[in-house]
Amino acid sequence: MTAMIQLSNVSKWYGSFQVLTDCTTQVAKGEVVVVCGPSGSGKSTLIKCVNALEPFQKGTVLVDGISVGDPKTDLPKLRSRVGMVFQHFELFPHLSITENLAIAQMKVLGRSRDEAHERGLKYLDRVGLKAQAAKFPGQLSGGQQQRVAIARALSMDPIAMLFDEPTSALDPEMINEVLDVMTGLAHEGMTMMCVTHEMGFARRVADRVIFMDQGHIVEDCTKEEFFGAPRGERAQQFLSKILQH
Partner 1 sequence: MNYHWDWGVFFKSTGIGHEIYLDWFITGLGWTIAVALVAWVIALILGSLLGVMRTLPNKALSGFASGYVALFRNVPLLVQLFLWYFLVPDFLPESLQTWFKQDLKPSTSAYISVVVCLGLFTAARVCEQVRTGIEALPKGQSNAAYAMGFTLPQVYRHVLLPQAFRIIIPPMTSEFLNVFKNSSVASLIGLMELLAQTKQTAEFSANLFEAFTMATLIYFVLNMSLMKLMGWVENRVSVPGLIGSNGK
Q: Which of 2, 16, 39, 240 binds ligand ADP (CB under 6 A)?
A: 39
Q: Which of 14, 77, 157, 231 binds partner 1 (CB under 8 A)?
A: 77
C-alpha–C-alpha distance, residues 172 and 198, integer Å: 11
Helix (H) or strand (E) holding 200: helix 199-205
Is position 139 an interface residue for partner 1 (rule: CB under 8 A)?
yes
- DSSP for 204-232? HH-SEEEEEETTEEEEEEEHHHHHH---S
Q: Which of 6, 26, 41, 44 binds Mg ion (CB under 5 A)?
A: 44
Is position 124 an interface residue for partner 1 (rule: CB under 8 A)?
no
Q: Which is nearer to ligand ADP, 23 or 82 (CB)?
A: 23
Q: Which is nearer to ligand ADP, 17 or 172 (CB)?
A: 17
Smallest gap from Cβ 144 to partner 1, in A, equals 12
Smallest gap from Cβ 15 to ligand ADP, in A, equals 7
Q: Which of 4, 25, 31, 42 binds ligand ADP (CB under 6 A)?
A: 42
Question: Residue 28: what are its φ and ψ, rounded to 5°?
Answer: -80, 165
Q: Which of partner 1, Mg ion, ligand ADP, none binds 203 (CB below 5-8 Å, type-dependent)?
A: none
**53-92 burial, b if ≥16 CB within 10 A, otherwise e?**
ebebeebebbbbeeebbeeeeeeeebbbbbbbbbbebebe
Q: Which of 76, 172, 229, 233 binds partner 1 (CB under 8 A)?
A: 76
**219-225: long-range contacts (C-beta < 8 A, 24 or more apart)?**
220/25, 223/34
Is position 79 an interface residue for partner 1 (rule: CB under 8 A)?
yes
Q: Which of Mg ion, partner 1, ligand ADP, none binds 13 (CB below 5-8 Å, type-dependent)?
A: none
Q: Which is nearer to Mg ion, 68 or 212 (CB)?
A: 212
Amino acid at 234: R
Under 8 Å between Cβ of 34 and 201? yes
131 burial type by CB count under 10 A (0-12 exposed, 13-18 middle, 19+ buried): exposed
Interface contacts to partner 1, rule CB under 8 A: 48, 51, 53, 76-77, 79-84, 86-88, 90-94, 103-104, 107-109, 135-140, 152-153, 156
